[in-house]
């Protein structure tokens, strides 16, 4: 599975990015993210290749792309926590995770997706059907999981996860939350896609 885009966010009031805060972030993350972008006065992007640390007045985000097996929850958590500590913020945060990914299959996913709803899809002249699952894992997260044919290539499945923690997550538990989400995608969501498309 290839992750086209992912955002792992600590959602919280960050406040203004003063010069002293900016300098502390740049100094502590320069080796990891040497490219510095200031798209506006309220946002800082520290970037290297396909990964970035994005800080705005309401969240701290680690964004990346690449093969799912190479995305390391512990590393992501470490970066987010370090930024949170540099900014001297509370160790408690709401976490938001958005992941867009694709996976290759040996099927025409557009055709296969209509299988369960043949008559309905014919009535609408639909050439493919996507599925949206509204999920809630008590005491962990809630949100949406989309599984659908990848429009650009019918031999691929497209995944979209938008999940939010149901409670505040303490810094010590960020890595567990991220690992739970990555496992949920790699095991359960992928298994559901197999039942739909294979």
Residue 68 confidence (pLDDT): 96
pLDDT at 115: 78
For position 184, what pLDDT does the model report? 96
Give the domain extent around 33: 2-197
Q: Computed from CA positions of residues 168, 173, 177, 180, in that sequence, does the dihedral angle turn out positive or negative?
A: negative
Task: Please count the other Cβ atoms lying within 10 Å of the Cβ belonging to residue 95.
Answer: 26
Evaluate if residue 120 carries a pLDDT over 90.
no
Amino acid 105: pLDDT: 94
CA distance 145 to 160: 6
Total domains in the chain come to 1
> How high is the pLDDT of residue 111?
87
Q: Which two tokens stand for residue 146?
A: 């989309």
Q: Determine the Cα–Cα distance for residues 179 and 34; give it in Å rounded to an integer.
A: 27
**Residue 195 pLDDT more than 80?**
yes
pLDDT at 131: 94
Cα–Cα distance measured from residue 144 to residue 57, given in angstroms and rounded to the nearest whole number? 25
* Interval 58-114: pLDDT, tens: 999 999 999 999 999 999 999 999 999 999 999 999 999 999 999 999 999 998 888
Output the pLDDT for position 118: 77
The strand pairing partners of 137, in sequence order, are 141
- pLDDT at 127 exceeding the cut of 90: no
Phi-psi map region of 43: left, alpha, beta (phi>0 left; psi -120 to 50 alpha): beta
Residue 168 reports pLDDT greater than 80: yes
**pLDDT tops 80 at residue 116:** no
The 10s digit of each residue's pLDDT in 31-69 is 999 999 999 989 999 999 999 999 999 999 999 999 999
Alpha-carbon span 25 to 82, nearest angstrom:
9
Give dist(CA 54, CA 47) in Å, integer. Answer: 8
């Amino acid at each position: 599975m290839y992750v086209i885009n992912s955002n792992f966010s600590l959602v919280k009031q960050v406040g203004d990015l003063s010069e002293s805060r900016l300098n502390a972030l740049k100094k502590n993350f320069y080796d990891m993210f040497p490219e510095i972008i200031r798209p506006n006065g309220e946002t800082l992007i520290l970037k290297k290749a396909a990964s970035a640390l994005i800080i705005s007045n309401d969240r701290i985000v680690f964004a990346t792309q690449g093969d799912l097996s190479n995305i390391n929850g512990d590393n992501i958590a470490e970066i987010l926590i370090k930024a949170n500590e540099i900014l001297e913020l509370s160790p408690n945060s709401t976490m938001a995770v958005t992941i867009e990914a694709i996976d290759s299959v040996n099927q025409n996913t557009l055709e296969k997706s209509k299988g369960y709803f043949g008559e309905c899809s014919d009535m609408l002249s639909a050439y493919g059907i996507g599925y949206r699952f509204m999920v809630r894992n008590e005491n962990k997260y809630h949100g949406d999981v989309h599984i659908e044919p990848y429009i650009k290539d019918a031999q691929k499945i497209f995944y979209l996860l938008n999940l939010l923690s149901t409670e505040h997550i303490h810094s010590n538990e960020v890595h567990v939350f991220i690992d739970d989400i990555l496992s949920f995608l790699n095991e359960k969501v992928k298994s559901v896609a197999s039942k739909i498309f294979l």
